[in-house]
A and B are shown apart, each in its own frame.
Chain A
Amino acid sequence: MNFDPRYSGRSFSSVGTRPLRPDGVDKVTGRARYGADFNMAGQLVGRVLRSPHAHAIIKKIDTSKAEKLAGVKAVITAKDLPDLTDGDAGMFDTLDNCMARKKALYDGHAVAAVAAIDARTARQALKLIEVDYEVLPHVTDVDEAMQHHAPLINDAIFTEGLEEKPVKPSNVSKRTQYGHGDVHQGFAQADFVVERSFKTEQTHQGYIEPHACVASVNPDGTADLWVCTQGHFVYRQHCAQLLGLEVSKLRVTSSEIGGGFGGKTHVWAEPVALALSRKAGRPVKLVMTRDEVFRASGPTSATSIDVKIGARKDGTITAAEATLRYTCGPYAGMWAEIGAMTAFACYKLENVKTVGYEVLVNRPKTAAYRAPSAPMAAFAVESAVDELAKEIGIDPVEFRIKNAAQEGTRASYGPVYGPIGIGPTLEAVKEHPHMRAPLAQNQGRGMACGFWFNFGGQTCTDLNIGMDGTVSLAVGTVDVGGSRASLSLVAAEELGIDYSQVKAIVADTSSLGYNDMTDGSRGTFSSSMATISAARNAIKVLRERAAQMWDISVDDVAWEKGHAVAKGEKHGNLGKLSLKEIAAQSGKTGGPIAGHSELVADGAGVSFATHICDVEVDPETGSTRVIRYTVVQDAGKAVHPTYVEGQYQGGAAQGIGWALNEEYIYGKDGRLQNPGFLDYRIPVCSDLPMIDTQILEIPNPNHPYGVRGVGETSIVPPLAAIANAVSNAVGVRMSHIPMSPPRILAALEAEREG
């Protein structure tokens, strides 16, 4: 790859404008095809039988009655998905999560599946499968699971990362530590120390589209999978590995995706659908119900976090420490580790230490959720930061500005920062009119900061120029919210043509080289880099063709504003050749014109945001309404500012839901009590105010246009911003998320009773 990704500081004509998205009309007319909107001839209906127990040994599964039911074409259990993971522990966990092998590890864990001629028959068949369970004691709470007497979920797990190798298995799969300096010394220098404990409940990504796929496996080992996913190439790898298929023979097409937010980065039902199709010899459509989505897919960690921060009278933080315990579901994970890395990333700290514990519980396997693990850590840290500012008697914005990380600061997770946006977002907040708007009784204002890494990764893009001069752009990163528009803008910018001349699509796995998923805020960052590279390769071809048409040396041809231009005095008589003119002649000058790119887009710049929030609390009921909200975030360069705003607003809304009402509620029996949108309360339209946004552009030095990822950071600050606002409104420090009315009212009552 001889592509130079460095920021060039150029000016733009397309990038930064706000055209309509290329997939828009299909989506407003109902024509866009999502996971469940696709059908194949002879297709069967797949359904999954799930454990009603939080923790149970599967002694025996008798499928004989179900198999005999007329219309049932296949019944599968773990036996039909043999372990082909070859010692890959992570893939084995994925396999076991798709279909429980020896034990059911959570309420909703798949234990068997059927494929039948229709939904009714499939449903009846599930009832005929007899599963003999030996119910075991279970544990769902993060702190309880860490106790020595807690029911053990996996006796092969011994805590990693301890100085001495443990002799007994544990529900703690790993301990990790980050930081630098000496926190003991740091706290000794502090005039004020705040030490608090916090809890956050488990939330779900809450995408409106349930997981859905259509799988078709042929006897010759070729297979097709239509699926809603954030990464069809990754799904292909995983499904091929779990099913023993050859990667190139499994073609995966990503449907339009009805929301993912991290929840569609893992395979769940897809290997099951493929196994059913293989056994039945017919295509199988498998669509999760909403109940299954909540019980068996998705959620983020529940957490328990202790934070201690010390500062001098002048407002300088001298030391910061946190212990973070995150649930992983019943399999090992690295969620607390990410929390430990991100917790203090906003600050310039000489002495910092964070310790993370990954905790196994009888809940669904934790999946990434938008800046995974960062919001909970930020809730704890930013709440404590506000408390500390209050104790010192310094304005919370000033306090943060004084301690904000900057270029050259050693991040709490290790490396030294390049140019970053935390300071500028804080300065912008300080000057924002929202900060000076008046507040009424029982209203309060809070603010908080957030950080996320952002990723790049493997990317492949094709750019084909039609004979009419229009451009089709094929990318392999799934478009979750407008990236086809952004990438078309980038192609138009680079080629020097109009946006309307470019049409971007997401290609299937057989049409393009491997792409990483749309996760880690990487979609636009990495695919725009590959698009720039592909466009530059196409320009090289365009110049060659123009040189042919003029019969001059290609060295004498430059590309300017969508045209080939002949350079040098001897070519003074040659007019410009437009892309369209060159394309029209392409059949006679060497065939189709295309640019291709495969690269690893690394160097995604880290991202920071600061949010301001006003709430009104009803002191008699504890009911809290967000009445004004402002997001300030660094985008590096906003390619399509409207969709950047959309990411800011969407992340804030998800954070507001998490802060106030969303939570997994388990009964004493370990069963999920609220697996539906009625009682898992995501914000509705009337719950929210307009969400104001301010885009800052601090260019990422590692992207030609300065682009940073923008998708995730916006969910990080809201939990703390709202907690700080509630504290300022009614004087209670909420340490348990969600701050539901019963929790707030109980805190208010406790405060009144002194």
Chain B
Amino acid sequence: MAGVAVSTTINGDHVEYLCQPDETLLDVLRDRLGLTGAKEGCGTGDCGACSVIVDNRLVCSCLVLGAEAEGRQIETIEGMAHGDQLHPLQQKFLEHAALQCGICTPGFLIAAKDLLEKNPSPTEEEIRFGLAGNLCRCTGYDKIVRAVQDAANVMKGA
């Protein structure tokens, strides 16, 4: 099987890799590039734990082929903080205890970042529907929604 050579941009860095045609972007991130922040909870696009942003679109990286990343701009959880400065969403997730086990957290943070970039003042309902593609089994979502609300307020003020 012939490998596909891919040249892409991940978190602002130019990255090149060789992957198999059937390898998902999630597999490439985790197994080839060591970016294990995106998690595989299902591999079928039902849990959102592998969420990344590709060319400003929120996607499940388990439903994208590694080969498709050619020439794209990819954002993962590893690029969310700026240096030692956490993103307001990261900070608010900590402050509100919006995570228990934390396996879904990277996916939620990426999805919430995408949500707030497109809708800086979401209602509770918009947050809930906007994050419906991310499953959390620990929190009952209450503290996640509050953290996103709080982060939205902080980001508007910033």
Contact = CB atoms under 8 A, between A and B. Distances in A.
Touch between chains A and B, by CB atoms below 8 Å: yes
Contact of B132 (A20, A36, A289, A686): A686
Interface in A108-137: 120
- The secondary-structure label for the interface of chain B is loop
Contacts of B144: 685
Interface stretch (B2-10, B44-52, B63-71): B44-52
Given A208-B104, A259-B103, A653-B139, A25 B86 contact: yes
Interface stretch (A308-316, A602-610, A675-683): A675-683
B137 A481 contact: no
Nearest to B103: A258
Given A649-B140, A650-B138, A650-B139, A258 B94 contact: no
A643 interface: yes
B116 interface: no
A30 B78 contact: yes
A34 B103 contact: yes
Of listed B40, B44, B102, B142, residue having the most chain A CB within 10 A: B102
A92 B128 CA distance: 46
B100 A481 contact: yes
A65 interface: no
A289 B95 contact: no
A690 B135 contact: no
Contacts of B127: 685
Given A208-B103, A677-B47, A685 B78 contact: no
Nearest to B97: A642
B90 A676 contact: no
Interface string A201-216: 0000111111000000
A481 B138 contact: yes
Interface residues of A, number: 56
B17 interface: no
A258 B102 contact: yes
Contacts of A691: 140, 142
Contacts of B104: 208, 258
A290 B45 CA distance: 11
Contacts of B90: 28-29
Of listed B37, B99, B142, residue having the most chain A CB within 10 A: B142
Interface in A584-633: none
Interface residues of B, number: 59
B158 interface: no
A71 to B, nearest CB: 12
A208 B143 contact: no
Contacts of B36: 30, 33, 36-37
A167 interface: no
A209 B99 CA distance: 14
A482 interface: yes
B141 A643 contact: no
B42 A676 contact: yes
A32 interface: yes
B20 A120 contact: yes
B32 to A, nearest CB: 11
Nearest to A678: B46
B43 A290 contact: yes
Contacts of B100: 480-482, 643, 646-647, 650
A735 interface: no
Interface in B15-30: 20, 22, 30
A208 B139 contact: no
Nearest to B105: A27
A748 to B, nearest CB: 27
B101 A481 contact: yes
A579 to B, nearest CB: 27
Contact of A30 (B46, B77, B101): B77
B145 interface: yes
A40 to B, nearest CB: 13
Contacts of A207: 101, 103, 137
Nearest to A689: B142
A685 B99 contact: no
For the complex of A and B, 8 pairs with smallest distance between CB atoms: A30-B37, A258-B103, A653-B140, A481-B100, A27-B102, A649-B140, A30-B77, A677-B46
Given A23-B102, A481-B101, A677-B41, 9 more contacts: A29-B81, A208-B135, A257-B101, A261-B137, A290-B43, A645-B143, A646-B138, A647-B100, A684-B135
16 contacts: A20-B95, A21-B97, A25-B94, A28-B94, A28-B99, A29-B80, A208-B41, A642-B96, A645-B143, A646-B97, A650-B100, A676-B42, A677-B42, A684-B133, A686-B125, A688-B128
